[in-house]
């Protein structure tokens, strides 16, 4: 099931922007190990998708979005508990500008 969720998100984001989709694809590296380590990584991965990727899809500034996604992923990879600081990073980012055809 986690693989299906992962694929759905990668495809969804790649339709918006290929580079962003590639960055989200890298998120699979968050899920590693066994037992409790794997569970923490999987929980962080799901939070990354819902609390970081989803809000950033509304951001028209793709370079900002890409930078925030990469920074968030690195924080989580350093330690799954880093998800809280990664979520804070995104919440404190500039407010999303509408993603409209004239704003790309």
* pLDDT for the residue 99: 56
Extract the residue ranges of the chain whose pLDDT is less than 70. Answer: 1, 95-104
Asked, for residue 104, whether it belongs to a domain, the answer is no
Q: What is the pLDDT of residue 83?
A: 85
* Residue 83 domain flag: yes
Q: What is the pLDDT of residue 10?
A: 95
Looking at the 3D structure of the chain, how many domains does it have? 1
CB 82 within 8 A of CB 76: yes
Find the Cα–Cα–Cα–Cα dihedral 34, 38, 40, 42, rounded to 10°: -170
7 found inside a domain: yes
Contacts of 55 (CB under 8 A, 6+ apart): 90, 96
Residue 102 falls within a domain, yes or no? no
- Domain hosting 18: range is 2-96
In a domain, 101, yes or no: no
pLDDT of the residue at 12: 93
**What pLDDT shows up at residue 59?**
81
For position 49, what pLDDT does the model report? 92
The pLDDT value recorded for residue 30 is 86
pTM for this model (two decimals): 0.80
Query: Does the residue 23 lie in any domain?
Result: yes
């Amino acid at each position: 099931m986690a693989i299906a969720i992962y694929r759905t998100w990668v495809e969804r984001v790649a339709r918006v922007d290929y580079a962003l989709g590639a960055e989200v694809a890298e998120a699979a590296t968050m899920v590693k190990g066994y037992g409790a380590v794997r569970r923490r990584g999987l929980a962080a991965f799901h939070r990354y998708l819902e609390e970081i990727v989803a809000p950033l899809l509304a951001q028209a500034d793709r370079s900002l979005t890409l930078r925030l996604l990469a920074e968030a992923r690195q924080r989580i990879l350093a330690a799954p508990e880093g998800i809280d600081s990664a979520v804070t990073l995104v919440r404190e980012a500039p407010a999303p500008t509408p993603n409209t055809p004239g704003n790309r």
